[in-house]
Amino acid sequence: MSFFSEEHRLAATRRILQHVGETLNARFSVRLWEGSVIPLGREVDERFFIAINGPGVLGGLLRKPTLENLLLEYVKGHLEIHGDLIDFIALLRDRQMKKNLKKLDKFFLLRQALPLLFAPAADKTVQHEYTDDAIGRDEARRDNKKFIQFHYDISNEFYALFLDEEMQYSCGYFKDAENSLDQAQQDKLEMICRKLRLQPGETLLDIGCGWGGLICYAARHYGVTAHGVTLSQRQFDFATEKIKRLGLEDRVTIELRDYSTLEGTYDKVVSVGMFEHIGIANMPAYFKKIHSLLKDRGILMNHGISRRAKASRRKALKVRPERRLLLKYIFPGSELDNIGHTADVMEIAGFEVRDIEAWREHYGLTCQHWYRRLEARREEAIGFVGVERFRMWALYLAGVSTGFRDGSMHICQVVATKRGPKGPSGLPLTRDDLYR
């Protein structure tokens, strides 16, 4: 038996939202479970509103006001966000609105919230979460193959809905911000090959080769013999079929294998979008292994997401709530390093760091394309992965697009050479050949 009726809860919610709207002066509205709409500002944009689909949503958030609880309310559909998510996030990050948050009458809000505290919470159980050690710092429990398969073996058809025609799941290169995603990814493949200074007849190793786009491009356009490794069964199957379809079996090979078990040497090594999965503690072993796989004066191009440097190691290793959610629901085992530390580890491993280029604006645009392409094919995506996982991924892509655009996330391409006998590095004196 409840002390408060549905009418009590509805009236309390309206009073809370009216006070919030008068104070924040936001650009969006809230639609309540019985259909009424309450604007949270004087000039709201009708395209953007949050739908609260029952009093239990607010009650659950009041009893457990965590970021994960808020995420699960959204993923389960108890709380819906209407309008383009990237644009909506921009509204939420409005500086004046954030300042106005401090003006809210907290005692008034607490008094009004009492009827909602006892509203029964809705189910927030989700099927898609990583239940083992998602942080991955415990080497005894770390399972790289399981990490990779959780993220990449969802469905090739799902990824095809929002990736480009080459199935490139990494940052594109936008020579013009208005370029298409397909053009940006073609330009990325070309720029990587140029940075590697590929020559006909050379051997190329791609660590974490994904769906095989780069190794096929390098073989077709630069005449190299390319080998790729991946831990994803679905990527391996797709790339194997692609290599055969393109008639590249004599020049391109792929293995379902951990890079750390590889032997032999290569003229060039590339790693694109795999670096984030290594973990900071494993970086010395990662670069040492790559060093052993390169010929003297061979070139490595390492492309990976990074973050800002922190004042202390303790701060650097702290797992913030938003990252903990990313690890649990999207990218288990991933960890971001700052570029300064990465360069140090590379040089200690025996590399000469020659070039570092930041691409964060490019990744902001790439993720924006991915989000909007996925949103445009919502029903097909839901058919492949279900509505909960679709919502999770839509929010993930919109959020990281915002992170790259505002500078809270970074991405760098590092070109380095394996130190041989004293003398030339093996690279040209200038970068002119990159922009011919």
Quick: pLDDT tens for 113-165.
888 888 887 777 888 888 777 777 665 556 778 888 888 888 999 999 999 99
pLDDT digits (tens, 9 = 90+) for 84-112: 999 999 999 888 888 988 999 989 988 98
Q: Higher model confidence: residue 377 or residue 110?
A: 377
Q: Whole-angstrom Cα distance, residue 46 to residue 203? A: 56
If you ran DSSP here, which 8-state letter would residue 166 be given?
T
Averaged confidence pLDDT in the chain: 92
Helix (H) or strand (E) holding 160: helix 156-162
Single pTM value for the model: 0.93
Task: Answer whether residue 266 shows pLDDT above 60.
Answer: yes
What share of the chain has pLDDT > 90, as a percent? 72
Lowest mean pLDDT among 65-69, 73-77, 254-258: 65-69
Mean pLDDT for the stretch of residues 233-242: 97
Q: Higher model confidence: residue 153 or residue 194?
A: 194
Helix (H) or strand (E) holding 124: none
Mean pLDDT for the stretch of residues 35-50: 95
Residue 26: closest CA among 104, 98, 130, 129? 98
Helix (H) or strand (E) holding 157: helix 156-162
Residues near 231 by Cβ (< 8 Å), separated by ≥ 6? 144, 145, 148, 149, 256, 257, 258
pLDDT at site 108: 92
pLDDT at site 2: 57
Residue 48: closest CA among 15, 89, 103? 89
Lowest mean pLDDT among 104-113, 291-300, 307-316, 341-350: 307-316
What share of the chain has pLDDT > 70, as a percent? 97
**Count H helices, E strands: the chain?**
18, 11
Q: Higher model confidence: residue 219 or residue 322?
A: 219
Q: Whole-angstrom Cα distance, residue 10 to residue 377? A: 35
What is the set of domains in the chain, with CATH numbers? 6-117 (no CATH), 144-435 (3.40.50.150)
The answer to whether residues 354 and 343 touch, using CB atoms and an 8 Å cutoff, is: no
Task: Answer whether residue 369 shows pLDDT above 90.
Answer: yes
pLDDT at site 141: 54
Q: Higher model confidence: residue 22 or residue 134?
A: 22
pLDDT at site 138: 62
pLDDT at site 436: 82
Give the CA radius of gyration of the chain.
Answer: 25
pLDDT at site 119: 82
pLDDT at site 152: 87
pLDDT at site 333: 84
Mean pLDDT for the stretch of residues 58-65: 86
pLDDT at site 1: 42
Mean pLDDT for the stretch of residues 226-250: 97
The answer to whether residues 243 and 174 touch, using CB atoms and an 8 Å cutoff, is: no
Mean pLDDT for the stretch of residues 193-205: 98
Q: Within a 10 A sphere around the Cβ of 322, how many other Cβ atoms?
A: 14
DSSP 355-418: EEEE-HHHHHHHHHHHHHHHHHTHHHHHHHH-HHHHHHHHHHHHHHHHHHHHTSSEEEEEEEEE
